[in-house]
Chains A and B, each alone.
Chain A
Amino acid sequence: MAVVQFSEEKLNKVKEIIARYPAGKQKSALIPVLHLAQEAFGGWLSAETMDYVATLLQLEPIEVYEVATFYSMFNLKPVGTYLFEVCQTGPCMVSGSDQIIDYIKNKLGIGVGETTADGLFTLKTVECLGACGYAPMMQLGKHYREHLTPAKVDEIISECRAKANAN
């Protein structure tokens, strides 16, 4: 297991974040730093990662665990390289999200919450992401993919595969 340790650049970012709050209130940096950690350490938060964040911010480990388990964006187990987070709430549902979810399941041969055998794709259903006018939609990394159709899903999957092959 690789040692959990931020790069110099990320450590500076942590310092910059802590400086946004009054002295002694560095606990406020917890959620932003957990985002940084999830990004830096494989897209999920292991116990080691959370303990590392606790040390960085001078918190008890439990203060980190209780936050990490509360917020849905923090993944507590490994996920594929590409995480498809498909919205399934009312406005997306009336615009056909059920069919999109079924299409992805068939196309990738996985269920919701599962990862493909090659470790490339994980499918997750999520609740409203605030893109109701551009439904159906999913989050892929930092950005939204909107107005989804089966053809568009195919394109996204090919795009991810091409990116993975290039790396």
Chain B
Amino acid sequence: MGRKLLLDKAHIEGIRYYDTYRSNGGYAAAEKALKTLGPDGVLEEVKKSGLRGRGGAGFPTGLKWSFIAKPEGVPRYLVCNADESEPGTFKDRYLMEFIPHLLIEGLLISSFALGANSCYIYIRGEYAWIPDILEQAIAEAKNKGWLGKNIQGTGFDLEIYVQRGAGAYICGEETALIESLEGKRGNPRIKPPFPAVKGLWQSPTVVNNVETLAAVVPIINIGGDEYIKFGTGKSTGTKLISACGNINKPGVYEIEMNISVEEFIYSDEYCGGIKNNKRLKACIPGGSSVPVLPANLLLKTAKGETRMMTYESLADGGFATGSMLGSGGFIVMDEDQCIVRNTLTFARFYHHESCGQCSPCREGTGWMKKVLQNIEYGKGKMSDIDLLWDIQRKIEGNTICPLGDAAAWPVAAAIRHFRDEFEWHVANPQESQTRNFGLAHYADPLPAPAPAAV
């Protein structure tokens, strides 16, 4: 069994409530932070832990915190990004529903380290029942002296508020989130200035993902030096993976970042293998925007090494033969799934979610959707495949925020690895309406890599 740091107590009955959470060691990290470590001590431990942002980008959290500007007399803010909207990702929801005090404790410690006296949890609007759970946890914590004025007699004040969004993927981008929190459309801002200098209401602001902030609790409890003993290399600690698609046991798993992709998919501890004894065709390992990989590149890298569930190993080979750990939204597709149709649903998603500020994204996502629709519904031309490639290249890197890249990558990867399937759709417009291309050669073992020249 893999060791756990976040969900180790999630199964305890009543852990959603303060008394049970507290009697199982809850708020011990907050006590240590407030009474022993002090703000700089907390920052030091987080830096030592190597914690990387769990929302998708994987940026070192300690470094992000160290950028926060501290002008005299200007309030600072911590914003918790609970706008979880990347298709395939549903891990933060699990954490907030089942063990909300872990997040509240993480927010308290992190706000203390940053010197923020107000903290906002921005949660996607569709998670409409979760604010009640969070607000109850906040009220309990406040009642026990962990929030409000002069927390535990230390002189530190903190209020946490929950703000619901209203249905916009783009608000997971930190500057769009800040705009939304200010009561505006979720249009990302041009950076710089970065939120750490001018964020919410033009004040220094740190925006971190739910899982990132929750991970601060075990880091303070065991110390940064112990935390890096979990995982491998620069992938320290544990990661929540939300697994879905054609697997026997979809759900949220906490993994130590030292297991192989194969173990994750096939072992009974995790996904339990492919549903209905079918074969694995493809997988999107880190949420819809990361490159899709065919089975043969997923389980082993192009170099023939075992692919691991780490930031580095999943990215091995770059976009040519690798992917990304991203948000941990792990989408598995069996031999019956159609890559063209799946790519179409993502293109439609990004077109729907583009905020419309930048022309390459606003127009390009719509074009990609239309071209993919033609191919999927038997009206495509061979030249459409190159056209798609051309469009995605003209979006990538040409927009204010990463939504453009996120829309381009899945289309690029689908064509890169599954071009035969696109061509088959175009060449067989009628047959493709009645059956799928199937597994084809996508699970075939790759030729052994040529020995490196000496």
The number of chain B residues touching the other chain, given as a range, is 35 or more
B180: A residues at CB distance < 8 A:
31
A127: B residues at CB distance < 8 A:
87, 169, 348-349, 352-353
B120: A residues at CB distance < 8 A:
20
B interface footprint on A58-92 (CB within 8 Å = 1, 0 otherwise): 00000100110011111000000000000011110
CA gap between A131 and B91 in the complex, in Å: 9
Cross-chain contact B345 with A31 (CB below 8 angstroms): no
A4: B residues at CB distance < 8 A:
none
Residues of A within 8 A of B (CB): 20, 22, 25, 27-32, 34-35, 63, 66-67, 70-74, 88-91, 93-95, 126-135, 139, 141-143
CA gap between A129 and B353 in the complex, in Å: 13
Cross-chain contact B164 with A31 (CB below 8 angstroms): yes
Given the known inter-chain contacts A31-B164, A32-B163, please indicate yes or no for A70 contacting B341, CB distance below 8 A: no
Cross-chain contact A90 with B345 (CB below 8 angstroms): yes
Identify the stretch in B45-53, B239-247, B257-265, B401-409 within 8 Å (CB) of chain A at 4 or more residues: B239-247
A139 (CB) vs chain B CBs: closest residue: B126
CA gap between A126 and B242 in the complex, in Å: 20
A64 (CB) vs chain B CBs: closest residue: B183
Q: B100 in the interface, Cβ–Cβ < 8 Å?
A: no
Interface CB pairs A-B, < 8 A, 20: A34-B166, A63-B183, A70-B185, A70-B186, A71-B125, A73-B125, A74-B166, A89-B348, A90-B88, A90-B288, A90-B342, A91-B245, A95-B244, A130-B85, A130-B90, A130-B124, A132-B88, A132-B245, A133-B251, A134-B90
A73: B residues at CB distance < 8 A:
125-126, 166-167
Measured CB to CB, the closest approach of chain A to B282, in angstroms, equals 10
CA gap between A27 and B87 in the complex, in Å: 30
Measured CB to CB, the closest approach of chain B to A115, in angstroms, equals 19
Cross-chain contact A72 with B87 (CB below 8 angstroms): no
Most chain B CB within a 10 A radius of its CB, from A32, A91, A93, A142:
A91
Most chain B CB within a 10 A radius of its CB, from A30, A31, A93:
A31
A24 (CB) vs chain B CBs: closest residue: B201
B245: A residues at CB distance < 8 A:
91, 94-95, 132
Q: B412 in the interface, Cβ–Cβ < 8 Å?
A: no
B345: A residues at CB distance < 8 A:
88-90, 93
A134: B residues at CB distance < 8 A:
90, 250
17 more contacts with CB within 8 A, not counting A35-B125, A130-B84, A131-B93, are A20-B159, A25-B201, A28-B181, A28-B182, A31-B163, A31-B165, A73-B125, A73-B166, A74-B166, A89-B348, A90-B284, A90-B288, A95-B244, A128-B87, A133-B250, A134-B90, A134-B250
B87: A residues at CB distance < 8 A:
89-91, 127-128, 132
B166: A residues at CB distance < 8 A:
31, 34-35, 71-74
A interface footprint on B146-189 (CB within 8 Å = 1, 0 otherwise): 00000000000001010111111100000000001111111000
B342: A residues at CB distance < 8 A:
90, 93-94
Measured CB to CB, the closest approach of chain B to A92, in angstroms, equals 8
Cross-chain contact B129 with A142 (CB below 8 angstroms): yes
Measured CB to CB, the closest approach of chain B to A83, in angstroms, equals 12
Cross-chain contact B164 with A35 (CB below 8 angstroms): yes
Most chain B CB within a 10 A radius of its CB, from A29, A32, A34, A139:
A32
**Which one of A29, A71, A93, A133 lies within 8 Å of B90 (CB-CB)?**
A133
A interface footprint on B84-112 (CB within 8 Å = 1, 0 otherwise): 11111110010000000000000000000
Cross-chain contact B89 with A89 (CB below 8 angstroms): no
CA gap between A71 and B331 in the complex, in Å: 26
For chain B, residues 400 to 438, give those with C-beta under 8 angstroms from any C-beta of chain A: none
For chain B, residues 363 to 419, give those with C-beta under 8 angstroms from any C-beta of chain A: none
CA gap between A120 and B249 in the complex, in Å: 36
A142: B residues at CB distance < 8 A:
128-129
A90: B residues at CB distance < 8 A:
87-88, 284, 288, 331, 342, 345-346, 349
Q: B228 in the interface, Cβ–Cβ < 8 Å?
A: no
Cross-chain contact B244 with A135 (CB below 8 angstroms): yes
A-B pairs, top 5 by smallest CB distance, nearest first, are A71-B166, A72-B167, A133-B250, A30-B183, A73-B167
CA gap between A31 and B329 in the complex, in Å: 28
Cross-chain contact A70 with B337 (CB below 8 angstroms): no
B185: A residues at CB distance < 8 A:
66-67, 70
CA gap between A44 and B395 in the complex, in Å: 35
Cross-chain contact A128 with B349 (CB below 8 angstroms): yes
Measured CB to CB, the closest approach of chain B to A142, in angstroms, equals 4
A126: B residues at CB distance < 8 A:
167
For chain B, residues 27 to 62, give those with C-beta under 8 angstroms from any C-beta of chain A: none
Q: B215 in the interface, Cβ–Cβ < 8 Å?
A: no
B249 (CB) vs chain A CBs: closest residue: A133
